[in-house]
Structure 1
Amino acid sequence: MIGIFKTNINTQKEKNRVIRALSGEFSATMCTLDLEDCDKVLRVDCPQMQEHQVISFVRDLGYQCAVLE
């Protein structure tokens, strides 16, 4: 699955925390977050994950997360 999500992650510290957590929990092959984009776009490439798992995980970390349409 390659997922693209809209988030409310705003700082470099938050970005690093979320990427580390996603990479550690799901062994994502690629995980990036664009803080410059107005939607704070999170991109996750992880074959063994589904979009709802990413959304739930990021929300559990305390951030908003939704599939970017």
Structure 2
Amino acid sequence: MIGIFKTNIGTYRERNLIIDAICNNFDVASCHVDIEDCDKVLRIVDLKVDERSIISFVQKQGFYCEVLE
């Protein structure tokens, strides 16, 4: 499954921190944040947990996160 989320991750430092945190805590194929996009899109490939788990995890890291509709 591919997870697509809207976030408020706005800097390269924040992007690197959240990607490392996700990759270290979840079994994913790849993870990317497009900080140039207006929705700061977080894309996770081969997501093996439900989207709520990712949303909760990202929020605990101090960022806004919701499923992108």
What is the TM-score normalised by the length of structure 1? 0.94
Question: What is the rounded CA distance, in whole Å, between the counterparts of 1:44 and 1:51 in structure 2?
Answer: 10
Give the C-alpha shift of residue 50 in structure 1. 1.0
The 3-state SS of whatever aligns with 1:36 is: coil
Identity %: 51
Which secondary structure state, in structure 1, belongs to the residue aligned with residue 43 of structure 2?
A: strand
RMSD across aligned positions (CA): 0.9
How many residue pairs match? The answer is 69
Aligned to 2:33: 33
Unaligned ranges ≥5, structure 1: none
CA separation in 2, counterparts of 1:51 and 1:27? 13
Question: Is it true that 1:50 corresponds to 2:50 in the alignment?
Answer: yes
| Segments ≥4 residues shifted beyond 4 Å | none
Shift in CA distance, 38/4, structure 1 to aligned 2, threshold 3 Å = same
